[in-house]
């Protein structure tokens, strides 16, 4: 039960990866194809319509992409929190607000963070293992607090 509620890479196997690969591939392709319309939607509904983005279609397809990607990852490893919060914000700081850059960089750096969290969990709790979900939560908590405080300061 603990592995399912926290999430760990120890439960992921090659047969599981084979089962989820079509869902991950479809979700990634759909997300990359939606990068340009999502950039328009980020400007606001009126500007997105003026730029030719179909809001309802874009939002529904974006929800489908997120569902495919998150569902596949959760099926393989369980719920691992804060990866989707930390990595895109770090990438946005490096690349700017364009989702055509944020999505591919996040797709590369998210597994790097997850692998680093798994390695750190195995080294810190030797000879046992600290699940990757716990390590990402410990790292992600301060990042989340920083993001909330930064937003509040920007509104002043």
Give the tens place of pLDDT for each residue, 87-116.
999 999 899 999 999 999 999 999 999 999
Sequence ranges of the domains in the chain: 9-78, 80-156
Query: Token digits for 134?
Result: 């716990």
Supply the pTM of this predicted model.
0.83
């Amino acid at each position: 039960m603990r592995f399912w509620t926290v999430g760990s890479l120890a439960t992921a196997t090659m047969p599981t990866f084979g089962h989820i690969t079509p869902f991950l591939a479809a979700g990634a392709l759909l997300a990359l194809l939606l990068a340009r319309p999502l950039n328009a939607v980020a400007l606001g509904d009126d500007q997105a319509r003026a730029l030719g983005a179909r809001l309802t279609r874009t939002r529904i397809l974006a929800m489908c992409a997120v569902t495919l990607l998150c569902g596949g990852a959760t099926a393989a490893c369980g719920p691992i929190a804060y990866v989707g919060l930390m990595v895109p914000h770090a990438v946005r700081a490096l690349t700017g607000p364009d989702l055509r850059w944020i999505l591919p960089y996040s797709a590369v750096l998210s597994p790097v963070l997850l692998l680093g969290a798994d390695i750190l969990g195995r080294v810190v709790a030797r000879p046992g293992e600290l699940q990757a979900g716990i390590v990402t939560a410990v790292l992600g908590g301060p990042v989340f607090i920083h993001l909330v405080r930064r937003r509040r300061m920007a509104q002043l």
